[in-house]
Amino acid sequence: MNLGLGFRFGFGFGCGFDLGESSYGTIVGPGVSIAATVPFSVLDRSRIREGSDGPQALRDSVAFGRRIEALGYHRFWVSEHHSVPGVAGSAPTVLAAAVAAATSTIRVGTGGVMLPNHQPLVVAEQFGVLESLFPGRIDMGLGRSVGFTDGIRKALGRDKQDAADFPGQLAELLGYFTGTQTTHPQVHAHPAEGLRVPVFVLATGQGARVAAEAGLPLVIAAVRGEDAMLRAIEQYRRDFRPSAWGERPYVVLSGTVAVAETTREARALLLPEAWSTAYSRTHGEFPPLASVDTILATAMTERERTLYEEARRGQLYGTADEVAAGLQKLLARSEADEFLVTTSTYDREALLDSYTRLARLLGLTGVWTPSPATPPGTAMG
């Protein structure tokens, strides 16, 4: 289970391969000056809703990917979580294949595969297959988390110490693509060898340092507050070592953004995830998302209420003008190269409406129009 990027909350940069060039958003809210020209992307965690189940959540993610593509976003990523009642996404490369097959232009990837849970050879092979089937559209986002509990780690055949060797695992994985790995002489990852899949490192634990030393893009969220995040970004840029995978630092800022007609409606969108986060910290597991009405009627303990309020801090929500102003400030302070939106909520149609309003705010050219294959009532993530 990944508790870093996932639950808190066009592109080339002089490297040896194409990272794509599309969906650059320019903030155009009324009364707000142009804030940035950066790609905006989406991470979906395949959240289960009360009254539904995991299989439906996965089908919703695929349908959601099609809609996000139609809106003009740059990437659509999925995540990895194990033994979590409220999350269906346990096999991100399999889900990414389904999303890529259902779309045609948007980049598809993982945010991310938790490398310590797997053998680098297998991860290389999986992404080699993905890149071979969907050339030029696959991203490999990697994290250093290992199973959330002792039981999960045991089931995965891992323990806490495996996360400590993340730099070595990463080097071995990259070596399978270049054909230079030496951990297992004469072992080759086919069809990955010779392919160049864009690689991103999630800033969980020492992820920012690892990304800088390996010369890779960094995905980071304000898990410990905005100031701490900005310090980590500054250190990443300062310590970045150019590599065959990247000539300069590249920062993907990750966060929750909700846009609605009113501030109150936008705030309500974020309550289901905030309660799920609070519940996880008092019960040890993320539950399915509950409706806003259910949450507002829930009697919380003092500890739960405190964690619930903490989970709502630092989120960007409001009307189009309010969100535009917030994004302008955040992107100016961080000088991020890209923004990865991680918003989820109980109400699927309200979620899509938020992403649609955000796309309009950013000036993205895509517009969602239902097709015979995806009628208006089709469920989505």
Q: What is the pLDDT of residues 219-272, one digit of tens each?
A: 999 988 899 999 999 999 999 999 999 999 999 999 999 999 999 999 999 999
Pairwise CA distance, residues 234 & 201, whole Å: 16
pLDDT at position 133 over 50: yes
Helices and strands: H and E segment counts in the chain: 13, 12
Q: How confident is the model at residue 367 (pLDDT cuts 50, 70, 90)?
A: low
Query: What angle separates helix 54-71 from helix 348-362, to the nearest 10 degrees?
Result: 20
pLDDT at position 138 over 60: yes
Q: What is the dihedral of CA 346, 140, 120, 159, to 10 degrees?
A: -30
pLDDT recorded at residue 47: 96
Pairwise CA distance, residues 49 & 64, whole Å: 15
Q: Tell me the average pLDDT of the chain.
A: 86
pLDDT at position 147 over 50: yes
**Structure confidence by residue, pLDDT tens digits, 333-361:** 999 999 999 999 999 999 999 999 999 99
Give the pLDDT mean for 98-115.
96
Pairwise CA distance, residues 318 & 324, whole Å: 9
Which H/E stretch holds residue 227? Answer: helix 226-239
Q: How far is CA 180 from CA 176, 187, 188, 189, in A?
A: 7, 10, 9, 11
More confident residue, 12 or 205: 205
Which H/E stretch holds residue 170? Answer: helix 166-178
pLDDT recorded at residue 27: 56
- Can you name the residues that pair with 142 across neighbouring β-strands? 113, 201
For residue 109, the 8-state DSSP code is E
Q: How far is CA 158 from CA 92, 100, 170, 188, 328, in A?
A: 18, 30, 16, 23, 42
pLDDT recorded at residue 379: 38
pLDDT at position 301 over 60: yes
One-letter amino acid of 82:
H
Q: How confident is the model at residue 381 (pLDDT cuts 50, 70, 90)?
A: very low
CB 315 within 8 A of CB 270: yes
CB 12 within 8 A of CB 4: no
Burial of 98 by CB count in 10 Å (0-12 exposed, 13-18 middle, 19+ buried)?
Answer: middle
**Structure confidence by residue, pLDDT tens digits, 162-200:** 778 999 999 999 999 999 999 999 999 999 999 999 999
Buried-exposed string 220-235: b where 16+ CB fall within 10 A, e elsewhere: bbbbeeeeebbebbee
**Structure confidence by residue, pLDDT tens digits, 35-52:** 347 899 999 999 999 999
**Structure confidence by residue, pLDDT tens digits, 11-36:** 222 233 233 444 445 555 554 433 34
pLDDT at position 376 over 70: no
